[in-house]
Structure 1
Amino acid sequence: MSELDIAIAAAKEAGEKILEFRELGFKQKLKSDNSIVTQADISSNEIITNHLSKTGIAICSEESIINDDISEYWLVDPLDGTANFVKNSNDFSILISLISSNKPILSVIYSPVYKQCMSCNGKNIFINGVEISNLRVDISPNILLSGMRKKVDESANLREKIRQNIDGDIISVGSGMKFYKLALGSAGIYIRNKVSHSWDIAAGDLIVQASGGVMVGIKDKKELQYDIKTLRNEPFIALSKENVKYLDKFLKIINS
């Protein structure tokens, strides 16, 4: 099996386990940063780790962080959108990426509920084995993506300003599925106006770029870096391929 095939198999098996917990119930607790972790997170992490360990490549996960000085490693979020999962929302996913020299080179975004697996080998993107070029039919470049938070966050005013300038709509999407929509063209813009954990965005970053879109830092307009020593990235903007030509326009609005 290729490394990407192993990652896909890992995501699918972990997804089945997550759905078992959803049906039968699970325990949860708060981590030191006040985020929620559940039995589903932990079990998913164990399953994915067991699969990925076959490659002999180091594994860094939200639930088992490492910061060794290495140039290649797996980066995993075993249950992205845990808060949504706890609320019985369908808006959660599994994110796996392979990082080499601070860049994602393989990635998987898997939705257990919908059995939808978007994967990227670095150049081509597939959904359940079908190349995305044959699926890109829903082009909605004026849709701006928002997270699922009910409270108004610091990005709300910024999103509204962008929406007014493009005469578009804002839709709420949780977890890595935002990048899924950007790659398909069913949304056009996602702005993250605060620091992100690398495991939340690396898989999506590669998929956005491979689909012809762009994902860069708001302040420096540079591609994001995935340094295992920090595992964080500054605010960024991600655009579908239809909106790449408007990058400078959006950055000007954001930074004004």
Structure 2
Amino acid sequence: MADLVRLMDITLKAGKEIMEVYQEEFDVEHKDDHSPLTIADKRSHETIMKELKVAYPEIPVLSEEGAEIPYDERSDWDKFWLVDPLDGTKEFIKKNGEFTVNIALIEGSYPTMGVIYAPALDTFYFGKEGLGAFKLEEASESKAENETDLVEQSEQLPNVKESDVINVVASRSHMSDDTQAFIDELKKGGQQVDVVSAGSSLKFCLVAEGKADYYPRYAPTMEWDTGAGQAIVEASGGTVLRHEDQERFYYNRENLRNGWFLVTR
């Protein structure tokens, strides 16, 4: 059985690799889809792959930096790790701190557990079916030895007071016309609508915390961008639904590119 404390330890190790690069000058490459890539992405990927293979050798891994696994092979997987070693590379390059390490456990096409670690903030979010969603600040100082310790040290989500203001979280780097149209439609109802900006998977975390009511993503993403965030949002009582049919977002499709979706508290 996958252990949240072990996953936290793995993300902390990956985060350490990322922060070593973050403190220095680094080169930026570009992949075939023109998305940026740094040595931090690679070092985090290598750390996570090594640690997961040692801890859970029986569970395959699908990672952004190793996504060339053919569908014929992975279509038979009933359980696998879905990994984004550095989500928010653009935020990393801007050095604004809003980047994360994401690991989700996908079982039967749906995320059952997810962890998100923001190394620059030293904040760890986690969610698990049947357990709930939680946030742990100063995660690197944690002395949790088991899941019970971890939960006791953490803040259960959501944890905000109800408000008459509708908060919509949008990407710092990817605000689309359709997202703006969604915001404008909410305003027609006469309620005050505030836009909360955030980078990477921290947008999911804001919904899980209750600091945002909606996260409309009407722009392209990939499966590894959303798996861990969906697990945490759903464990907090929220939903992640496909735009075209309002069905729960599912994973390990032949085409790993996500369609539009809406995250709701």
Same fold, TM exceeding 0.5? yes
Work out the CA distance in 2 between the residues paired with 1:139 and 1:38: 40
Matches within 5 A, 1:19-98: 19-54=19-54, 55-56=56-57, 57-65=59-67, 66=69, 67=71, 68-69=74-75, 70-98=77-105
Unmatched tracts of structure 1, length 5 or more = 241-256
Work out the CA distance in 2 between the residues paired with 1:238 and 1:99: 18
Name the residue aligned to 1:11: 11
Name the residue aligned to 1:148: 172
3-state SS in 2 of match to 1:143? strand
- CA shift, 1:40, in A, is 0.3
Q: Is the 8 A contact 1:139 1:186 kept in 2?
A: no
Q: Is the 8 A contact 1:7 1:51 kept in 2?
A: no
Letter in 2 for 1:6: R
Matches within 5 A, 1:80-229: 80-123=87-130, 124-128=132-136, 129=150, 130-133=153-156, 136-139=159-162, 142-149=166-173, 153-165=177-189, 166-229=191-254
RMSD over equivalenced CA pairs, Å: 2.0
3-state SS in 1 of match to 2:111? strand
Q: Is the 8 A contact 1:226 1:232 kept in 2?
A: no
3-state SS in 1 of match to 2:156? helix
Work out the CA distance in 1 between the residues paired with 2:174 and 2:238: 28
* Stretch of structure 1 that moved more, 21-30 or 225-234: 225-234
Which 4+ stretches in 1 moved above 6 angstroms?
none
Q: Rate the CA distance shift 1:150–1:211 in 2: closer, same or farther, 3 A.
A: closer
Q: Is the 8 A contact 1:125 1:131 kept in 2?
A: no
Percent identity between matched residues is 30
Q: Is the 8 A contact 2:111 2:231 kept in 1?
A: yes
3-state SS in 2 of match to 1:63? helix
3-state SS in 1 of match to 2:166? coil
* Stretch of structure 1 that moved more, 117-126 or 87-96: 117-126
- CA shift, 1:135, in A, is 7.0
- CA shift, 1:105, in A, is 1.1
Matched pairs, number: 240
Q: Rate the CA distance shift 1:151–1:120 in 2: closer, same or farther, 3 A.
A: closer
1:22-42 deviation per Cα after TM superposition (whole angstroms, max 9, x unaligned): 112222201000000000000
Work out the CA distance in 2 between the residues paired with 1:37 and 1:79: 9
Work out the CA distance in 1 between the residues paired with 2:187 and 2:88: 25
- CA shift, 1:126, in A, is 2.5
Q: Report the TM-score, using the length of structure 1 for normalisation.
A: 0.87
Q: Rate the CA distance shift 1:169–1:135 in 2: closer, same or farther, 3 A.
A: closer
3-state SS in 1 of match to 2:40? helix
3-state SS in 1 of match to 2:232? helix
